[in-house]
């Protein structure tokens, strides 16, 4: 197949990691793959196979008001349509909600002249991540041009079915990378370190993790917290840390790549997000054998964790998060047994399983 892949960027994040890995693996299977990003490609943090053709459109400028926003949408749709005409793919695979909207607008209605068979993959949780009103209106129209919508969870698939989207929907879970080594649990236990990984953004919930850590800190004065990532909430989080008087126990080192060493040295991993599509950081921590806590309100985490079998699912409040963390702190033997069970994500969510599913979905979207 001649496959075009479209995403906003390859600059960090789980969706970007999966797109880079999927494009590379499809190319390894002798497909002709072109990966297109809306940004200029200079900030790529994920690399693709040398067999993948890489195109960067450089159309990610900011919108200054409604007219500017409308112009940017039209400009991006035009550029995507122009590049697709040059690439002339058999099928288009697009990742992430707003990029999917642009893709749907660019390819034209199903069965129309010049329509490109299109698979749109939702990487977030549409039940929790609400698009602005204009983008919701555009999505309803643009998604009619898709031959298939892919979601990562049943909850997300139900959202599209229940909201009147007539395009077929299929669930394909994300994949986790094989860690380069297993966590040394004896060493990690002695570190007494909690770790979180993700963008420093409101939806990632690190403010709640700091609140939970502040609750625990008087009782566990030798424990520390380390949050890997970068984002616009850094000043707020730094102020929160200072207000709690925890500057000597909480660190925000920014993005650390690769994060395997940091994960391997962690005693406990916590994912406090308000919503997640299918959290890569959680799966990576579990794959390394790191005891992991996530929130029960996250559809993606619920699809990965069986509570107190291979991880912990906590409630959304700081008190509930603190309670789950304390349970992992106070019972080391149970903690490590459950962590060993978590390694099964490598089998359940392996790359071959995911690539097989996407390959079948893409092929089925092409008219015979």
Residues 153 and 204 in one domain: no
Residues 108 and 244 in one domain: no
267-285 per-position pLDDT tens digit: 999 999 998 889 999 999 9
Query: Look-up: residue for tokens 């990003």?
Result: 37
Structure tokens at 3: 């496959």
Q: Is residue 58 part of a domain?
A: yes
More confident: 324 or 108: 324
What is the secondary structure of 283-351 as a DSSP string? Answer: HHHHHTT--EEEETT-HHHHHH--BTTTBEEE-SSHHHHHHHHHHHHH-HHHHHHHHHHHTTHHHHT-H
**How much is the pLDDT for 276?**
85
What is the rounded CA–CA span in Å between residue 350 and residue 174? 8
Residues 191 and 92 in one domain: no
Residues 326 and 340 in one domain: yes
Residues 48 and 190 in one domain: no
**How much is the pLDDT for 109?**
81
Eight-class DSSP state of 178 = P
**How much is the pLDDT for 128?**
85
**How much is the pLDDT for 63?**
77
What is the rounded CA–CA span in Å between residue 166 and residue 110? 12
Whether residue 113 has pLDDT greater than 90: no
Q: How confident is the model at residue 78 (pLDDT cuts 50, 70, 90)?
A: very high
Q: What is the mean pLDDT of residues 336-350?
A: 94
Q: What is the mean pLDDT of the chain?
A: 94
What is the rounded CA–CA span in Å between residue 216 and residue 213? 5
Q: What is the mean pLDDT of residues 258-275?
A: 94
Looking at the chain, the whole-number percentage of residues with pLDDT higher than 90 is 85
Number of alpha carbons in the 13 Å side-chain half-sphere of residue 163: 15
**How much is the pLDDT for 325?**
98
Inter-CA distances, 49 with 17, 43, 267, 285, 302, Å = 13, 17, 34, 25, 32
**How much is the pLDDT for 13?**
78
Eight-class DSSP state of 204 = G
Whether residue 348 has pLDDT greater than 80: yes
What is the rounded CA–CA span in Å between residue 243 and residue 235? 12
Angle at 305 between CA 233 and CA 190, to 5 degrees: 70
Q: What is the mean pLDDT of residues 133-155?
A: 94
**How much is the pLDDT for 43?**
87
CB 187 within 8 A of CB 31: no
CB 91 within 8 A of CB 64: no
Q: Which of 100, 78, 114 is nearest to 144 (CA)?
A: 100
Q: Which of 13, 15, 131 is nearest to 143 (CA)?
A: 131
40-55 per-position pLDDT tens digit: 999 888 999 999 999 9
Residues 288 and 332 in one domain: yes
Residues 228 and 156 in one domain: no
Q: Is residue 274 part of a domain?
A: yes
Residues 92 and 234 in one domain: no
**What CATH number should be reported for the domain holding residue 35?**
3.40.50.2000
Helix (H, G, I), strand (E, B) or coil at 6: strand
What is the rounded CA–CA span in Å between residue 82 and residue 36? 12
Q: Is residue 145 part of a domain?
A: yes
Whether residue 150 has pLDDT greater than 90: yes
Structure tokens at 84: 């697709």
Q: What is the mean pLDDT of residues 76-101?
A: 97
Q: Is residue 343 part of a domain?
A: yes
Number of alpha carbons in the 13 Å side-chain half-sphere of residue 13: 21
Q: What is the mean pLDDT of residues 137-147?
A: 94
Residues 132 and 240 in one domain: no
Q: How confident is the model at residue 159 (pLDDT cuts 50, 70, 90)?
A: very high
Model pTM?
Answer: 0.86
Strand blocks (E) in the chain: 2-7, 32-37, 53-56, 91-95, 118-121, 148-151, 169-171, 193-197, 224-228, 250-254, 268-271, 292-295, 312-314
What is the rounded CA–CA span in Å between residue 52 and residue 114? 24
Its domain, for residue 339, covers 185-348
Look at the chain and report how many structural domains it folds into: 2
Q: How confident is the model at residue 167 (pLDDT cuts 50, 70, 90)?
A: very high
Residues 335 and 206 in one domain: yes
Q: Is residue 272 part of a domain?
A: yes
**How much is the pLDDT for 235?**
98
Residues 98 and 206 in one domain: no
Q: Which of 271, 221, 214 is nearest to 242 (CA)?
A: 214
Residues 250 and 116 in one domain: no
Helix (H, G, I), strand (E, B) or coil at 13: coil
Looking at the chain, the whole-number percentage of residues with pLDDT higher than 70 is 100
Other Cβ atoms within 10 Å of 186 Cβ, number: 8
Q: Is residue 180 part of a domain?
A: no
């Amino acid at each position: 197949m001649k496959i075009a892949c479209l995403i906003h960027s390859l600059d960090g994040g789980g969706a970007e990691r999966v797109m880079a890995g999927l494009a590379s693996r499809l190319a390894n299977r002798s497909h002709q793959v072109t990966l297109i990003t809306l940004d200029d490609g200079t900030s790529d943090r994920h690399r693709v196979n040398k067999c993948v053709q890489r195109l960067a459109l450089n159309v990610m400028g900011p919108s200054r008001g409604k007219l500017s926003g409308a112009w940017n949408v039209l400009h991006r749709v035009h550029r995507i349509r122009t590049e697709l005409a040059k690439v002339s793919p058999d099928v288009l695979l697009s990742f992430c909600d707003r990029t999917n909207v642009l893709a749907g607008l660019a390819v034209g209605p199903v069965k129309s002249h010049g329509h490109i068979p299109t698979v749109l993959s939702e990487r977030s949780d549409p039940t929790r991540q609400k698009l602005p009103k204009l983008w919701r209106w555009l999505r309803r129209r643009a998604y009619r041009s898709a031959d298939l919508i892919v979601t990562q969870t049943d909850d997300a698939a139900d959202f599209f079915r229940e909201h009147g989207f007539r395009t077929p929907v299929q669930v394909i879970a994300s994949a986790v990378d094989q860690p380069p080594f297993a966590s040394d649990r004896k060493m990690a236990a002695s570190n007494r370190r909690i770790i979180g990984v993700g963008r420093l953004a409101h939806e990632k919930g690190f403010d709640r993790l700091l609140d939970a850590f502040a609750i625990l800190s008087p009782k566990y004065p030798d424990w520390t917290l380390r949050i890997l990532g970068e984002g616009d909430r850094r000043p707020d989080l730094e102020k929160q840390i200072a207000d709690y008087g925890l500057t000597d126990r909480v660190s925000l080192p920014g993005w650390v790549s690769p994060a395997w060493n940091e994960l391997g040295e962690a005693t406990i991993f916590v994912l406090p997000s308000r919503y997640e599509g299918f959290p890569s950081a959680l799966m990576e921590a579990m794959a390394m054998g790191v005891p992991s806590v996530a929130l029960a309100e996250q559809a993606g985490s619920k699809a990965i964790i069986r509570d107190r079998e291979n991880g912990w699912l906590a409630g959304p409040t700081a008190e509930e998060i603190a309670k789950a963390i304390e349970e992992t702190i106070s019972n080391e033997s149970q903690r490590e047994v459950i962590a060993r069970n978590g390694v099964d994500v490598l089998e359940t969510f392996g790359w071959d399983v995911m690539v097989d599913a996407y390959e079948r979905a893409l092929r089925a979207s092409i008219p015979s």
